[in-house]
Structure 1
Amino acid sequence: MQKYLHLIVEEIQSAAEHAVRDMLKTIHTTTHGAPLHATDYMDDGTRIQLKVTIDPSTGGAIFDFTGTGPEAFGNWNAPIAITNSAIIFSLRCLVNTDIPLNQGAIRPITTIIPPNSLLHPSPEAAVCAGNVLTSQRIVDVVFRAFGACAASQGCMNNLTLARTTRRTGGGTTRRYAGVVGRAVVAGHRGRAYQYDEYADYGSGDPGAA
């Protein structure tokens, strides 16, 4: 049973890989082989820069983020896994077929990300908002490079909620109700992709920090 399950998963990933390779070959033809470029900036001015070079013989591509700004003092740094996830999301929107979410979509992609940058931060860098904020700006940059949409606002518009309650016997507990955000992006066929995020961070004693 496990053997057949692995075969099915491999077929799903292979189908996604071929769909992305076919799409990239088509893009290479329509752009006459010219590299694709895009740049966008975080609210603090940190640059996210991308150059996409497509190999027409294989349908593979290099996503080169050289030129992206240094890691931030804030918590909107994004580990490499976040960049890869943003690339997968973007490619699924760009392909001309429906494919399930899986890593086969990124098999044709080689990523180059400079170390100690916003998208490849050091182990000491804070990364919380990189998941919900910077990830969308990466998606914007990819879409802009492919000329897929206007990429006007790559932001989750985060709102953090909290409530303080009295505990029996004295003291208080602060419950962080969550981070709420919504984003809508458009695929190249005009379909709207909307996704929401909610995270409950639990409770803690503000006096114990």
Structure 2
Amino acid sequence: MRILVMEDDETLLLTVAITLRGAGFAVDPVTDLAAADEALSVNSYDCAVLDRKVPGGDALDYVRHRRRAGLRVPVLFLTALGGIGDRVDGLEVGDDYLVKPFAAEELVVRVRRLCHIREVDRPAVLRYADVELDSATREVRRGGVLLTLTRRQYLVLELLLANAGRAVSRADLIAHAWDDEFARPATNVLDVMVAQLRRKLHQPPLIQTVREVGYRIG
């Protein structure tokens, strides 16, 4: 699972990133709102952990604005602002609120919970055109015909279908299909896998290449 972490204190940012990576998450660390906005615009995240007062403004105002525009990524505010009003505002806009200083174990538990919310929010059956992916049985059919996919081919197709109509970056596809970040391959390995997946899906072509980004269905 992939997490975005925004924190302007670079020492704390490193600590949070190490903590979450040690718990099995892939982590993208950023230090300001501009970088966070860019990351959220081009990547798919299971959760975002955001400090509030950072260069560029208040993350709470930013999330409120992005929610109105359709942002659905679960957000945990990780902040020194611990007043009752701050907590209430944070929980109205985001999905969880944790005040500094915090215990590493509590952060991990809260992030896992938010990632679980994202998984539950995803439909059990993903469909596009005549392709159907059933996450309960892990079966994929096209035109009613059962396809034989490897585990990683299945995971790549799953993320593409979950984001149908939007480009998914190579980095996101690799993070989703290779759970262990230390075993992740070069992007050309992903390209070979997508080529194999295209052949298994047969005609007409379903997966499109998005230049300098990754791939897209739809």
Highest CA radius of gyration, 1 or 2? 1
- Common topology (TM > 0.5): no
TM-score between the two structures when normalised by the length of structure 1: 0.29
